[in-house]
Amino acid sequence: MAKVALVTGGTRGIGAAISKTLKEAGYTVAANFAGNEEAARKFTDETGIPTYKWSVADYDACKAGAAKIEADLGPIDVVVANAGITRDAPFHKMTREQWQEVIDTNLTGVFNTVHPVWPGMRERKFGRIVVISSINGQKGQFGQVNYAATKAGDLGIVKSLAQEGARYGITANAICPGYIATEMVMAVPEKVREAIISQIPAGRLGAPAEIARCVAFLASEDAAFLNGSTISANGGQFFV
């Protein structure tokens, strides 16, 4: 039987590319989203992938959502914790609300997403957790104290889950994308985008599908010995 994969924030941007790539690779995919019904409907029309609405910031909703998917499609074998938000501001202007919202979604959201499915993975002795972190969790970023903290925290989560899950056949890995050509990045003024690209040795933005293919590899049987690792998919944009 096909393995079941849950992709949070799986209806737009990088998440949509991940959902589609996993479907093409033979998984039964469930795509979660937060509230943009129109984008979710369009995504299902285009791909045939069912969508499930809840906020990853809400533990009970994550638990109920996972249970619904398992009732509909079968036990979840692969979790891609992709949902993420930004609420940027320089630190002296950052509000407690901006801090908390990003922590709740990008960091607690990963706990909330993985925790309900973890016992089942342990019982079945198989699981694949892939967390979409960010280059800015590795290097920090002006105006992103909240975001960088969560994305660095996500790396701590996978390294710890790797140690706890390994003997149960569960792996947990992270991908740190650099700048990817999503709607958000393409919407910034061309001059700003050119400045961003000038810092990428590859001379271009990444494509969502390039992140999706990294996820497909980490989810596969072939990646069984990769555990607690970070794939930096950033076109060579390294830093000290």
Q: Around Cβ 23, how many Cβ atoms within 10 Å? A: 18
Build a one-symbol-per-residue string for 101-140: x at contacts with ligand NDP by CB under 6 A, - elsewhere.
----x--------------------------x-x------
User: What are the tokens at 112?
Assistant: 């909330």
CB distance 157 to 172 below 8 Å: yes
| Known catalytic residue at 168 | no
CB distance 146 to 97 below 8 Å: no
Burial 146-175 (b: 16+ CB within 10 A, else e): bbbbbbbbbbebbbebbeebeeeebbbbbb
Nearest distance, CB of residue 67 and ligand NDP, angstroms: 16
Q: Which of 27, 33, 52, 118 binds ligand NDP (CB under 6 A)?
A: 33
Build a one-symbol-per-residue string for 73-92: x at contacts with ligand NDP by CB under 6 A, - elsewhere.
---------xxxx-------
| 3 near ligand NDP (CB under 6 A) | no
Which listed residue (52, 147, 168, 179) is catalytic? 147
CA distances from 27 to 13, 20, 114, 169 (A): 19, 10, 18, 18
User: What are the tokens at 216?
Assistant: 């497909």
| 177 near ligand NDP (CB under 6 A) | yes
DSSP conformation class of 105: I
Interface region with ligand NDP, contact rule CB under 6 A, candidates 50-58, 90-98, 120-128, 222-230: 50-58
- Total residues at interface with ligand NDP (CB under 6 A): 30
The catalytic residues are: 147
Per CB under 6 A, residues contacting ligand NDP are 8-9, 11-15, 32-36, 39, 55-57, 82-85, 105, 132, 134, 177, 179-180, 182-185
